[in-house]
């Protein structure tokens, strides 16, 4: 799965994470998240995997692009771990 900057921002919004929180969960720098989401630079495949893994562990489901484009959704709350600013 290829992660787009828009999907990354939308996924963070679904789980109510800041860029700092995503960076910490994924083990990357905040500037990496910031620069990727603002399209300042591309990310390495390994970094993309770290971001995807962190967001998926929080309950985000990434939808493959189809005729309507890529998307994200959230697992039902009973199926996902509690994390983020409200649970910290």
What integer pLDDT is reported at residue 77 of this predicted model? Answer: 75
| Residue 87 forms part of a structural domain | no
What integer pLDDT is reported at residue 72 of this predicted model? Answer: 94
Count: domains in the chain = 1
| Residue 64 forms part of a structural domain | yes
Contact between 25 and 54 (Cβ < 8 Å): yes
| Residue 45 forms part of a structural domain | yes
In whole angstroms, what is the distance from residue 29 CA to residue 9 CA? 16
Domain that holds residue 45: 5-79
What integer pLDDT is reported at residue 60 of this predicted model? Answer: 97
9-58 per-position pLDDT tens digit: 999 999 999 999 999 999 999 999 999 999 999 999 999 999 999 999 99
The CATH number of residue 61's host domain is 1.10.260.40
| Residue 84 forms part of a structural domain | no
What integer pLDDT is reported at residue 48 of this predicted model? Answer: 97
User: Three-class SS of residue 58?
Assistant: coil
Contact between 62 and 3 (Cβ < 8 Å): yes
| Residue 52 forms part of a structural domain | yes
| Residue 70 forms part of a structural domain | yes
């Amino acid at each position: 799965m290829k992660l787009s900057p828009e999907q990354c921002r939308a996924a963070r919004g679904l789980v109510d994470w800041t860029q700092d929180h995503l960076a910490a969960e994924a083990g990357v720098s905040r500037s990496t998240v910031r620069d990727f989401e603002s399209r300042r630079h591309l990310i390495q495949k390994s970094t993309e995997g770290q971001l995807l893994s962190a967001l998926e562990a929080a309950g985000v489901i990434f939808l493959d692009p189809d005729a309507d484009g890529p998307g994200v959704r959230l697992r039902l709350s009973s199926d996902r771990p509690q994390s983020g600013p409200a649970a910290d």
